[in-house]
Amino acid sequence: MRALLTGVVLVAAISLISPWAVLIVKGSLLTGNAIPVIAVLFFFVLTALVSPLLKSLSRRLAFTRADLILIYAMMLVAGAVVTTGFTGGFMSIISGIYYYATPENNWANLFIPHLDPWVTPQDPQAVHLFFEGLPPDASIPWSAWVLPLAAWTSFMVAFSVVMFCLGIMLRGQWIDRERLVFPLTQLPLAMMEDAESAERRIGRFFKSRLLWLGLLLPLLLHSWNSLHNYHDAFQPLAVRGRIPLLDGRMSVPFLLNFPVLGLSYLMPLGVSFSLWFFCLVGLLEQSAFARIGLQLSGGDMWTSGGASPPLSLQMSGAMLMLVVFVLWNARQHLGSFWRQALGREESTRRELLGPRAAVCGFIGGLLFMSAWLISTGLDVYVAILLVVGALVVFIGLARITCEAGLPSIQTPMVPQAFMIRGFGPQVLGLQNMTGLGLSTAWLGDTAANMMNSVMHSLRLSSGQERHLRHLPWALLLALVVALAVSIWYTMSLAYTHGGINLHGWYFRGVVRWPFNHMALLANAAEESFAPRLTFITLGAGVMGALLYLRQRFLAWPLHPIGFPVSNTHPIITFGWLSILLAWLCKAAILRYGGVRLYRTMRPFFLGLALGEFSASALWVFVDGAFGVEGNMIFVF
């Protein structure tokens, strides 16, 4: 019970601090990826300070390993829905379609007539004040929001249940059979490795000098750069810029991203090599397309990284092929799981959720999601395709994260883009296009997603199931608390300051991007989907070949996991250089020092991640206290 209460308190704190950091301070993203900054820092304080203090008072007071896993898992769930994951933009989407409607964009005729009253606020004054702020002594018009908030939160709960049940179904295949590395679990596991040791009050991890050296490097560097906002005497040291290539005909953005550098050290060398290699190959391919004039008409909704449409479509085809391969590999395990759910086969392992409950929850959640989407106006086939597309995206992203350990990745293209381009506006109709636009509230920015949180929680709990039998209910409680607190606080900030004064993306871009794109297509539809389908097929074919070669030849150097996300925003803008440096460091360490030196240096690289996370949180609070805005240290 004590661990559960601690988890609830920390989830509530995350749900308040993350929106404040982004919307008010406009600083670092403390949530929004697979290893939320603020969750790691709370866990750091808990394991390095609080638990040793409790252990010094009485060993019975200290948190057990199972307690710490439960607390961290609850924070992972909160990080998946707060701000970037859902609550930062969905209220703007369901209200901004009214606020930003103008005679020029014609949204009033294209989309607004097709909105159901129970999914959007119907009071024009409430919508206006949400974006422009309340007058003095006025109160938030909650009555205008009760129905749409209830509708959307029920959908998110059902969606999260589906993700958890799917995670239970895939757990045995990924963790027990394939033994994926799960690099992002190495940091929390290192923090709690001596949690139950009677001899050690403070864990060995925290006594490592290399850990503190690694932590101090980014902490001091970013603190120096942050002080430039307060006095010109502190000239910033460059950690980002652009590298010219091909005699200046193109350039590549770079960022010295310490968390990516530190966590990429934990990747297998083949994975880290493939990530930066395919990124540079994609850039060269994009340059070649530009030189020969190969282009497709217009971009697509919610593509990641600004890659050319041919490149985004190739990566999307590769992602689809990856998921097909993953499910095909798991066919025997999933078949056995299904037979256990039907009672035709005895379960050989204790799961956090029994096979029957997992299958029923998965199917029931899918039915609820589909019915919910259909009731918003989507045709049955569109709703089913959207749900299936979401499963493909989140299985693919979770697989890449569990195998590669990147803090943040995004799908190269969302399913809505395929449907809009594939069927066309004439077939879909404006009713379906309106519903697809609204669906970007939960299937738009995929950097933070529940499937990642679920799979990493299950990996951490592996072997502790007997002590964590209530974990599913704890995660559900964390979800409800995170949704309630972050929605309330985000709403309060919007009505107090005016949404348009808070954040350009969450209160403007997140609304305009999908609906402007669909309005453009509604007025000028593409003649044929065949050119796009060609690049999708090409990407799927290349991915299939890479998967075959990886399975067939053990010495094959290119890991296929790097291809589907190689030119997405987190890699090309924030990650490729740090992944390259980590690959060089690890290769040199293993070559000249062997496994022993690799293990010795591990705390140093984990310290790099902790150092940038610490600097990000520290300067969010310092900048918030002194009114400084825009100091983004950690972005993805």
What is the DSSP annotation of 396-421? HHHHHHHHH--S----SB-HHHHHHH
Ramachandran region, residue 146 (left: φ > 0; alpha: ψ -120 to 50; beta: rest) = alpha
pLDDT score for 372 = 97
Strand partners, 502: none
Q: What is the mean pLDDT of residues 252-263?
A: 90
- pLDDT above 70 (res 265): yes
CA atoms within 13 A on the CB side of 562: 26
Q: Dump pLDDT digits (tens) for 407-453.
A: 888 888 899 988 888 888 888 999 999 999 999 999 988 888 999 99
Q: What is the mean pLDDT of residues 153-171?
A: 97
pLDDT score for 306 = 58
Strand partners, 242: 253
Q: How far is it, in rounded angstroms, from Cα 418 to Cα 415?
A: 5
Ramachandran region, residue 33 (left: φ > 0; alpha: ψ -120 to 50; beta: rest) = beta
Place of tokens 């106006």: 377
Tokens of 105: 């964009």
- pLDDT above 80 (res 524): no
Provide the residue type at 97 as one letter. I
Residue 127, judged by CB atoms within 10 A of its CB (0-12, 13-18, 19+), counts as buried
Strand partners, 240: 255
Q: How many CB atoms lie within 10 A of CB 475?
A: 25
pLDDT score for 253 = 82
Q: How far is it, in rounded angstroms, from Cα 105 to Cα 522?
A: 11
pLDDT score for 283 = 86
Chain center to CA of 132: 29
From the list 224, 126, 243, the residue with the least C-alpha distance to 580 is 243
Q: How far is it, in rounded angstroms, from Cα 632 to Cα 615?
A: 10
Helix/strand/coil (H/E/C) assignment for every residue in 541-602: HHHHHHHHHHHHCCCCCCCHHHCCCCCCHHHHCCCHHHHHHHHHHHHHHHHHHHHHHHHHHH
- pLDDT above 70 (res 248): no
Q: By three-state DSSP, how is residue 82 classified? A: coil
DSSP letter for 114, please: G
Q: By three-state DSSP, how is residue 138 classified? A: coil
In the chain, count H helices and then E strands.
24, 2
- pLDDT above 80 (res 43): yes
Q: What is the mean pLDDT of residues 191-220?
A: 88
Contact between 122 and 539 under an 8 Å Cβ cutoff? The reply is no
Instruction: Tell me phi and psi for residue 413, to 5 degrees.
Output: -160, 140
Residue 209, judged by CB atoms within 10 A of its CB (0-12, 13-18, 19+), counts as exposed
pLDDT score for 210 = 97
DSSP letter for 254, please: E
Q: What is the mean pLDDT of residues 451-475?
A: 91
CA atoms within 13 A on the CB side of 134: 14
Q: What angle do CA 599, 602, 605 make, to 5 degrees?
A: 160
- Provide the sign of the torsion angle of the four alpha carbons 30, 36, 37, 40, taken in this order: positive
Residue 332, judged by CB atoms within 10 A of its CB (0-12, 13-18, 19+), counts as exposed
Residue length of the chain:
636
Q: How far is it, in rounded angstroms, from Cα 234 to Cα 185?
A: 36
Q: Dump pLDDT digits (tens) for 571-590.
A: 988 889 999 999 999 999 99
pLDDT score for 323 = 97
Provide the residue type at 382 as one letter. V
Place of tokens 């390993």: 65
pLDDT score for 544 = 96
Q: E strand or H helix at 242, and its extent?
A: strand 240-245
Q: Dump pLDDT digits (tens) for 275-330.
A: 999 998 988 888 888 778 777 666 666 666 656 788 888 999 999 999 999 999 99
Strand partners, 245: 250
From the list 307, 410, 404, the residue with the least C-alpha distance to 33 is 410
Q: E strand or H helix at 533, and its extent?
A: helix 530-552
Contact between 553 and 328 under an 8 Å Cβ cutoff? The reply is no
Cα dihedral 323, 324, 326, 329, rounded to 10, equals 180
Q: By three-state DSSP, how is residue 340 classified? A: helix
Share of the chain above pLDDT 70, in %: 96
Q: Dump pLDDT digits (tens) for 107-138.
A: 999 999 999 999 999 999 999 999 999 998 89
